[in-house]
Amino acid sequence: MRVLYTLAMYLVTPLMLLRLLARGLRSRPYRRRWPERFGFFAHPGLHGSLWVHAVSVGEVNAAVPLIRELAQAYPHAPMVVTTVTPTGSARVHQLFGDSVFHVYLPYDLPFAVERFLRQVRPRLALIVETEIWPNLYFACHERGIPLMIVNARLSRRSLRGYRPLRALARSALGCVTVIAAQSRSDAARYRLLGADPRQIIVTGNMKFDMPIPDNAVAVGAAMRAQWGSERPVWIAASTHEGEELAVLEAHRQIMREFPDALLLLAPRHPERFRLIEHLARVQGFTSATRSAQGTPAAQHQVFVIDAMGQLMPYFSCADVAFIGGSLVRIGGHNVLEPAALSTPVLVGPYTFNFQEITLTLIQHHGAVRVADADQLAAQVLKLLRDPQQQRRMGAAAHSVFERERGAVPRVMHLVDLLLQE
């Protein structure tokens, strides 16, 4: 199976390069640093590094408290952080600058993986969430590098996707020392995939331990004062293609009752920023962008947040937050950021990426699920009409967030045990 898998990887490599090229036509960063995808990069001179792999922005954000704890507990160990996407890379540089060594994780080709491991020479490998790369896992095992999957999650959809390669996935998971699962459901699905139950420990979701910027509330309050403290404001965050039209239609309905309502619209991918600002104008809204105007004025009806990693102050100052990737089959994005700031949360029907967190928020009345633009408009209007309900729902969301914290110390305990061994 491993030989067939490796052969397939070599055969699809030209297609992966074509995909990079196609994405590069829309987003310039995808055109750069291709050698890193094959393990070619300047030798960093590292030895005994602690290596954390986080595929993209969401995983990087989840790993932030763990990376900081590792740096504090092991100050003399070089820190390596790998990603797959340019947005993940940009987030690493934004958060950590030169304090970590960042490089793209190479494709799962034996020669690329071997070159990567020779360059960074890790003492411990920490894979965030759901990244099972057989050749990488086998190479770590053969080199005696302890491997942990931290914040491990495995959705039903992902489990079905691994079904044709279940035997290979089981062998790859045999190379893993510890699987630190987000929940009992994730642990059960890893067992179904073939992981040894003795490997699996439920540690909770590290995203509950994410740091809240000290100035998020203050900056949000200052923005709200500038816009007008009585002005209704809602945010649609991390939206994808197919969602913005629904969000703008919902905003049109909201403005019939609240003509001065302001929509903060944050597309998920940078290459779509200009397109969405243009879409808002074409739909007849007076719009502005963070990069051009800085802040919305009284006449602006839609404000496009065309920046990465800047949402927390906007969540703080919004009356209601809709989390994107959930009206389309993306699976939803992080509902915890608004919850951490006591902002009521709305989601669409597709939240399998954050299934248990979302269900917990809904069960504790911190979030509401909507099916389409009409229901989205109705729920936003319901909350805008009732500030007391806003506060109750926001408080319930924040209570869930606070109660679930503590995964990072549990993961760090496992890390300490492995490093002592």
**3 state DSSP class of 336:** helix
| Cβ–Cβ under 8 Å, residues 62 and 151 | yes
Q: Which amino acid is at 278?
A: H
Q: Which is catalytic among the residues 36, 59, 131, 277?
A: 59
DSSP code of 210? P
- Edge-first strand order for the sheet with 302-304 is 287-289, 302-304, 262-267, 233-239, 320-323, 345-347, 367-369
Active site residue 244: no
Enter the tokens of residue 253: 């309905």
Q: Give the whole-angstrom CA distance, residue 270 versus residue 407.
A: 31
Q: Counting beta carbons within 10 angstroms of the beta carbon of residue 287, is it exposed (0 to 12), middle (13 to 18) or buried (19 or more)?
A: buried
> DSSP letters along 273-320, please?
HHHHHHHHHHTT--EEEHHHHSS--TT-SEEE--SSS--HHHHHH-SE
Residues near 130 by beta carbon (within 8 Å), at least 6 away in sequence: 149, 152, 153, 154, 155, 158
Nearest to 421 by CA among 151, 145, 181: 145
Contact 227, 233 (CB under 8 A): yes
Strand partners, 369: 347
Kindly report the three-state secondary structure assignment for every residue of 100-117.
CEEEECCCCCHHHHHHHH
Distance CA 418, CA 409 (A): 14
Cβ burial 304-316 (10 Å sphere, 16+ → b, else e):
bbbebeebbbbbb
Distance CA 68, CA 231 (A): 38
Active site (catalytic) residues: 59
